[in-house]
Structure 1
Amino acid sequence: MELPSFVNAEFVFYGIVFMAVVLLMEGGFIWWRDTYGPKRRMSRRMALIESGATSEEIITALRRQTTDASKSMLPSMIKYLDVRMSQAGIRLSAQRMLSYMATATVLIGFLFPLVGGISGQVTSAGAVLLLVLFAAGIGIALPILYINYSAAKRLKLIEAQFPIALDVLVRGLRAGYPVSGALELVVNELPDPLASELGLVLAEVNYGSPLRDALEGFASRAQTQDINMFVVSVAIQTETGGSLAEILDSLTRVIRDRAAMVLKVRALASEGKMTGTLLTAMPIITFVGVFSSQPEFYLDVVGDPWFMPGALGVLFLYVLGVTIMRRLIAIKV
C-alpha cells in the first residue's frame, strides 16, 4: 500500500518510533510504580516488622554506630562527622568513615602517579603538594560535600513531615491512645525518613528505655529547632502534668507559622546560599577534574619559584572565603 504523495514516509517512520518510545517509557514507569513504589513508601521499621524482626533487631538495624569523640585523635572532626552523618542517615560510625576517607586518600596518592604515568614528574615539593591536594580532594573533600548535601536534603524532608506527624500524634492522643500507641500510629502512617527516626524512638521505648531519653536521642540525631521544642514540651509535660494533646496542638501551630517564616527567609537568601554552595564545590571539582585528565597543566609549572607560595596562598584564601561565606549565609530564624 502506497502512501499519498503529500505524506512524507520518513516523518511517519520517526512519528511511529517516537510514539513507541513514549509508550515504552510510560509502561516502564507504571511497572516501576506498581512494583517498587509501595516498597519505597514503606518505612524501614515496617519492613523489619513485616520480616518478623524483634525489638532488639529493629533497634540494631535502625540505630547507627556512634563514636566517642573524646577517645579519638581528631575529636572536632569526629564530632562534626558524627552529627552530619546522623542527619544524613548514614549508619557507619564517624571514626570508620574517617578511616575510609584516609585510606582512600593514601591509595589515590600512591596509585594515581603510577596509573596516570606521572610518577617521574612527582619529584619536587610543589608536585607532592599538588598530589596531596588532589588525593585529599577525592578522598576527603568530595565525601564531606556529599554527606553535607545528603544531610541537608534529609533534614528538609524531616522538617516538612514533622508538623504532619504532630497532627497525627495529637489526634491519636485525643482518641485515647497512650503516648507509645500514638507514636506507633505516627510511625505506621508516615514514610521515611521521619518514620524510621520515630520508629527507633518507639523501639527503644518498647525495649525499656524511658520516653524522655528516647526523644532526647532523637533530638540529638536530628538537631533541629522544631524537634528540640517538641522534646522540651514532652519533658515539661511529664514533670508538670497537663494535656499533652493541647500542648502539641499549640506547638504544631507555632511550628507551621515558623516554617512559613523560614520559607520566606530561605527564598530571600536562596541566591546567596546557592552562590556559596557553588563557590565551595566548584574549585574542588574543577581542580580534581583538570588534574585527573591533564596533570601536565599543573606539573609543567611546579618548578617555578612562585608556585609554592601561590598554591599555599590560594589554599588559604579558599579556606578563608568558605569560612566567611558560611557565616554570611548561616541565617537563623
Structure 2
Amino acid sequence: MGFTDIEYAYILLFVSGLLLVEGLYHLAVDVRRGENGGRNRRMRLLAAGAAGDAALNRLRRAETDRLSAAIIRVLPVTERLIRESGLTISVRRLAAICVSLVVLALLALRFAAGLPPLPSLLGALAVGIGGPMLALTVRGRLRIAKIVLQFPEALEMMVRCLKAGHPINSAIGMIATEMPDPIGTEFGLVVDEMTYGLDLHSALVNLAVRVPNPDLRYFVVTVQIQHNTGGNLGEALGNLATVIRDRFAMKAKVKALTSQGRSSAFIIGLMPLVSAALINVVNKGYFGDVMTDPLFMPGMVVAGVLMAIGHLIIHRLVNFRI
C-alpha cells in the first residue's frame, strides 16, 4: 500500500522537524556554553577538567568526522564561517539544520503557499541554506569586530608585561588568562599551540588566519621582524596600539560627520517602497491596472537598477576606508 503525496509530506515534515529541533538544541547549548560564566571559553574548558590538548582540538576544530570532512572538501566556506563565528558546532550538524530548513520551507511554499515546483525549490534553498550562512556570516563579523575593539587593550597589557621583564610567551599567556572572550580564547589557542609543538611565528600566523583582520597581521609582522632583527618590541607594540586607537577615533568622527548622509540614503531608499505600499492600501487597483502592460516589468527593472546604482554612489560617498 503506497503513500499519497500528502502523507509523504507529513513524513518529511516530521523527520525534518526532528532534525531541526535537535540541531537547534545543540547550537543553543554551544552558544550558551560559549558566552556564559568564566573569563573565556578556553579557561572554562580547562576549569571543567578538560585536558590541554582536548581543549585545543575542540576550539581549533581539529577533530572532524568523515561526513563533516567530506562536506568541508566540497564546501570549505562552511568550516571558515563556523570558525570565524566562534562556534564549535560540527559541519555535519550544520548540514542537518540546513537540510531540515530546506525541507520545511519547500513544504510550506509548495503546499501551504501553492507555488509552482521550481520557485518553491529556489525559495527553499534560499531560506534553508542562505539563512544559516547569513547568520554565521553576521555572527563572525560581529565577533571579529569585537576582537578588534579588544585588541588595543590586549596590546597594552602585553606592553606592560614586556616592560616588566617578561618574555613574549608569558605576555601572550597573560592575555589568554586575563582577557575575556573572544580575544582571550584566541590568544589561548596561541599558547596551547606553542605548548604542543609549534613555534611562536607559526602560532601567530594561525591566529591571523583564524581572525582575518589587518591589525592582527600587523601584530604578527611586528613580532616576526623583532624576532629576526631585534629591537624594542614593547615600544613597537605600544605604537601599534596607539595607531589602532587613533584610527577608532577617526572612524567615530567620520561616522558622526556622515550621519546625515546615511540617514538621507536610508530615507530615500525606503520612500519608494513605503509610497507604493500606501498607494496600494488606499487604492488596491492602482497597480493592478498597469501590471499587464508590456512596459511595466522592464520599467520596474530599470527603476530597480537605477535605485541600486544610487545607493551604491551614496554608500561610497559616506563610507571611507581609514
TM normalised by structure 1 equals: 0.63
Distance 2:264 2:174 in 1: 38
Q: Show the counterpart of 2:218.
A: 229
Asked whether the 8 Å contact 1:41–1:192 carries over to 2, the reply is: no
Asked whether the 8 Å contact 1:64–1:90 carries over to 2, the reply is: no
AA partner of residue 187 (structure 2):
L
- In the superposition, relative to structure 1, how do residues 245 and 272 fare at CA in structure 2: closer, same or farther (>3 Å)? same
Correspondence list, 1:72-221, <5 A: 72-73=73-74, 78-79=76-77, 81-92=78-89, 96=92, 99-100=95-96, 102-104=98-100, 106-112=102-108, 116=112, 121-122=114-115, 127-221=116-210
Q: Show the counterpart of 2:284.
A: none
- Output one character per residue of 1:32-62: Cα deviation in whole Å (capped at 9) or x when no partner: xxxx9x9535211111221232221121121
What is the deviation of 1:262? 2.5
- Tell me how many residue pairs correspond in the alignment: 258
- In the superposition, relative to structure 1, how do residues 146 and 260 fare at CA in structure 2: closer, same or farther (>3 Å)? same
Q: Show the counterpart of 1:53.
A: 50
Q: Show the counterpart of 1:16.
A: none
Distance 1:41 1:57 in 2: 18
Larger RCO (CA within 8 A; separation ≥ 6)? 1
Distance 1:226 1:178 in 2: 22
Give the match's secondary structure for 1:177. Answer: coil
- In the superposition, relative to structure 1, how do residues 135 and 275 fare at CA in structure 2: closer, same or farther (>3 Å)? farther
Asked whether the 8 Å contact 2:85–2:136 carries over to 1, the reply is: yes
- Output one character per residue of 1:294-323: Cα deviation in whole Å (capped at 9) or x when no partner: xxxxxxx9xx9999x969x87xx68x949x
- In the superposition, relative to structure 1, how do residues 73 and 262 fare at CA in structure 2: closer, same or farther (>3 Å)? same
- In the superposition, relative to structure 1, how do residues 98 and 185 fare at CA in structure 2: closer, same or farther (>3 Å)? closer
Alignment root-mean-square deviation, CA: 4.2
Asked whether the 8 Å contact 1:87–1:154 carries over to 2, the reply is: yes
What is the deviation of 1:140? 2.3
Q: Percent identity?
A: 32
Distance 2:203 2:235 in 1: 22
Asked whether the 8 Å contact 2:156–2:241 carries over to 1, the reply is: yes
Q: Show the counterpart of 1:292.
A: none
Correspondent of 1:240 among 213, 216, 229: 229
AA partner of residue 185 (structure 2):
S
- Output one character per residue of 1:101-155: Cα deviation in whole Å (capped at 9) or x when no partner: 6523541354325763x5xx44xxxx23431343133212322332232122212
Give the match's secondary structure for 1:42. Answer: coil
AA partner of residue 231 (structure 1):
V
Question: Which structure 2 residue ranges, 5 or more long, are not aligned?
Answer: 1-32, 274-287
Asked whether the 8 Å contact 1:87–1:222 carries over to 2, the reply is: yes
- In the superposition, relative to structure 1, how do residues 70 and 42 fare at CA in structure 2: closer, same or farther (>3 Å)? closer
- In the superposition, relative to structure 1, how do residues 147 and 113 fare at CA in structure 2: closer, same or farther (>3 Å)? closer
Distance 1:97 1:273 in 2: 40
Distance 1:48 1:234 in 2: 29
What is the deviation of 1:244? 1.5
Asked whether the 8 Å contact 1:86–1:222 carries over to 2, the reply is: no
- In the superposition, relative to structure 1, how do residues 230 and 68 fare at CA in structure 2: closer, same or farther (>3 Å)? farther
- In the superposition, relative to structure 1, how do residues 86 and 73 fare at CA in structure 2: closer, same or farther (>3 Å)? closer
- In the superposition, relative to structure 1, how do residues 110 and 57 fare at CA in structure 2: closer, same or farther (>3 Å)? same
AA partner of residue 196 (structure 2):
Y
- In the superposition, relative to structure 1, how do residues 330 and 99 fare at CA in structure 2: closer, same or farther (>3 Å)? farther
TM normalised by structure 2 equals: 0.65
Distance 2:174 2:293 in 1: 66
Asked whether the 8 Å contact 2:109–2:124 carries over to 1, the reply is: no
Distance 2:264 2:58 in 1: 35
- In the superposition, relative to structure 1, how do residues 58 and 98 fare at CA in structure 2: closer, same or farther (>3 Å)? closer
Q: Show the counterpart of 1:32.
A: none
Q: Show the counterpart of 1:63.
A: 60
Correspondence list, 1:5-84, <5 A: 40-64=37-61, 72-73=73-74, 78-79=76-77, 81-84=78-81
